[in-house]
Amino acid sequence: MISNSNGSQPSAVQLCFENINGSCIKTSYSPGSRIILYLVFGSGIVLAVLGNLMVMVSILHFKQLHSPANFLIASLACADFLVGATVMPYSMVRSVESCWYFGESYCKFHSSFDGSFCYCSIFHLCFISIDRYIAVTDPLVYPTKFTMSVSGICILFSWFLAITYSFSLFYTGVNDDGLEELVSALTCVGGCQIAMNQNWVLVDFLLFFIPTLVMVILYCKIFLVAKEQARKIESMSSQTESSSESYKARVSKRERKAAKTLGIAVIAFVISWFPYFIETLVDAYLGFITPTYIYEILVWFAYYNSAMNPLIYAFFYPWFQRAIKLIVTGEIFRGHSSTIDLFSEKKN
């Protein structure tokens, strides 16, 4: 896709800023390639922004969805929405134009946003896995254990820790300690490359790996418990059930289905982000030899995760499908729309 030549003569070197000394060299793409890239990246931005906006509006507007678990999901959607609104558009221009046109100050701000929302998503998913574990293993006691206040604490902790860590890392400059020569060599006008030394790359990886390991362990336990519960319910189906046993079976089934859907979201997150974190960890210890285009591919593979969760919810949650229909048709602007029953099989 890169146009580096014109016939047998090498093309003139293009710069990000032609009239500025020390400008970065610009990689030239053909017009067709640029259009395709903008369409691919732009579609991801639209999905991330609109899809997560739908999730947030659905949960916050419809009273039936006001639960501790759903508020965690809404907060997760907020983090993904902000990735689509404040990170992906600028990264799209950087990736396609191979230049950073938004100033040095916003480069650091952009990187801080990027890290903040990524770790915020990780922490939310970790708390959601804990929530699902309690809900599946002890569904009747669950409402007294995971309350609104507990959910609020989890949300505040996730945002505070993620934002504090990311902004402190980049604005204190500790991320590139010991890499002064490399940073000096890479610095040019129109570039936005944030160097991370081995120590902080390792911390970054652990902040991703440890919560991910917790999620994997909990979901493995969840599915083992769910399998056992399903076997017990099946064995009781031929017997006369008491009303309490029947209620417990229905609750268990609902919680297992929610756990399955959110488990898929966790798997999608790990698949999207794991290659990026592995690459940055390995690259830091091998002397930063990864080509820029490999980095860009992995970054966008990770960004697209922000657009995936709404698609997962839309596919597995009938209530979300009904909520989208009510939002798109403008029904939510009518009186008492917040009390509509989204779980009814009847059409609203």
Angle at alpha carbon of residue 118, lines to 169 and 137, rounded to 5°: 125
Contact between 61 and 35 under an 8 Å Cβ cutoff? The reply is: no
**Residues 328-337: contacts with CB under 8 Å, at least 24 apart:** 332/57, 332/61, 337/61, 337/62
Query: Where do runs of H (alpha helix) occur along the chain?
Result: 31-61, 68-82, 88-97, 104-137, 142-145, 148-172, 180-186, 198-236, 243-285, 292-303, 305-316, 318-328
Q: Give the domain CATH number at 101.
A: 1.20.1070.10
How confident is the model over 213-230, as pLDDT tens digits? 999 899 888 888 877 776
Residue 342 tokens read as 């989204």
| Rounded mean pLDDT, 337-347 | 76
Phi, psi of 111 (to 5 degrees): -65, -35
Q: How far is CA 107 from the centre of its chain?
A: 20
pLDDT score recorded for residue 135: 87
pLDDT score recorded for residue 247: 52
pLDDT score recorded for residue 149: 96
CA distances from 70 to 79, 95, 151, 193, 223 (A): 14, 35, 9, 37, 21
Using CA atoms, how far apart are residues 15 and 279, in angstroms rounded to an integer? 28
Confidence tier at 77 by pLDDT (50, 70, 90): very high
Q: Is residue 344 part of a domain?
A: no
What is the reported pTM?
0.87
Longest CA span, the chain:
85
pLDDT score recorded for residue 65: 93
pLDDT score recorded for residue 263: 83
- Domain count within the chain: 1
Q: Is residue 1 part of a domain?
A: no
| Rounded mean pLDDT, 311-317 | 86
How confident is the model over 85-136, as pLDDT tens digits? 999 999 999 999 999 999 888 999 999 999 999 999 999 999 999 998 898 8
Q: Is residue 25 part of a domain?
A: no
Q: Is residue 286 part of a domain?
A: yes
Q: Is residue 4 part of a domain?
A: no
Q: Is residue 326 part of a domain?
A: yes
pLDDT score recorded for residue 3: 36
Using CA atoms, how far apart are residues 178 and 284, in angstroms rounded to an integer? 12
pLDDT score recorded for residue 82: 96
How confident is the model over 231-287, as pLDDT tens digits? 776 666 555 555 555 555 565 566 666 677 778 888 899 999 999 999 999 999 888
Q: Is residue 15 part of a domain?
A: no
pLDDT score recorded for residue 253: 64
Average pLDDT, the chain: 86
pLDDT score recorded for residue 347: 43
How confident is the model over 265-279, as pLDDT tens digits? 888 999 999 999 999
- Identify the domain containing residue 193 by its residue range: 30-236+243-331
**For residue 316, pLDDT beyond 90:** no
Q: Is residue 105 part of a domain?
A: yes
